[in-house]
Structure 1
Amino acid sequence: MALAACAQQPTDDVGFGGQPPVPAGPVQAKPEPERTPVAAEAIDLSQLPRGYPKKVWTQDNGTAVVASGQEGGCSKVRAELGEQTADHVKIILVEETPDPPGVCTMDLRYPPVAVSLDAPLEGRKVVLEQKDVKVPR
């Protein structure tokens, strides 16, 4: 009778019954001194409401883009990656407001929000867009 042992399978292989890789979580904006400002001429702000913050940076060697969002009272802002092409990256700044709103403060905050890119930004233009969504309370 002959016995054979199975070799250790690589740990990065999902295989039958294995767990799929966990998707990367949202990118956290680093402190401003650790970010690189994006030149104003490389940013398209035409789809933002009047008075919206206009600051954009890169971090992590250009593989993440950080933008100033705007939120207030009970609302929270987050960034979504709309699209990536050879010439531009579209970032959607989503302000989520509870519905019904309830009692909220009357203040504005401008937190940095970030998205991860498939490749460094380099010479691509950053297109910023904003949208409001209602979320159930």
Structure 2
Amino acid sequence: MGAGVLFFAISACAQQPADDVGFGGNPPAPPPAPVAPKPVDQRTPVPPEQLSPGAPKTWTQDDGSVVVATGSEGGCSKVHAELLEQNAQQVKIRLVDETPEPAGICTMDLRYPPLAVKLDAPLEQRQVVIEEVDVKVPR
């Protein structure tokens, strides 16, 4: 009898839909594909009055649907951009500089890579708020 109940339980689980994950939810959507910054002649600078104080050099491309900010990294660190929020008034972007911990042997160079984020709609007159954070990541 016990073997029959076990067989029934296993066969019932095997008949669940393939896209069913965990407690009936769907898997999270994959992150958006990275957007490549365009050459200088295909950029439009974001006016200073639309930028948060102290924001790095920032521009738009692709008719305003992509915002690109200049990141800062050096040695072993790598920087990437995250789109935190976008609404009718503003776009919030976080530049994350990740440094491996424990620190190893690193060069003393500085790099300023352009970091792009794709918006749902063109920037137009919205404010661009950029925050920069440094985080330690395991080596």
Return the TM-score normalized by structure 2. Answer: 0.75
Give the letter aligned to residue 88 of structure 2.
Answer: A
Greater per-residue helix proportion: 2
Give the letter aligned to residue 79 of structure 2.
Answer: V
Cα RMSD (Å): 1.9
Q: Determine if contact 1:86/1:124 at 8 Å carries over to the other structure.
A: yes
Q: Distance in 2 between matches of 1:79 and 1:117?
A: 13
Say which one has the larger Rg.
Answer: 2
Q: Distance in 1 between matches of 2:31 and 2:83?
A: 15
Task: Please give the secondary structure, in 1, of the residue aligned with 2:41.
Answer: helix
Point out where structure 2 has 5 or more consecutive residues left out of the alignment.
1-16, 20-26
Return the TM-score normalized by structure 1. Answer: 0.76
Give structure 1 regions of 4+ aligned residues with deviation exceeding 6 angstroms: none
The structure-2 alpha-carbon separation of the partners of 1:109 and 1:120, relative to structure 1 and needing over 3 Å to count, comes to same
Point out where structure 1 has 5 or more consecutive residues left out of the alignment.
1-15, 49-53
Alignment of 1:14-25 (within 5 A): 24-25=32-33
Query: How many pairs are equivalent?
Result: 115
Greater per-residue strand proportion: 1
Alignment of 1:1-137 (within 5 A): 24-46=32-54, 54-137=56-139
Q: Distance in 1 between matches of 2:32 and 2:132?
A: 24
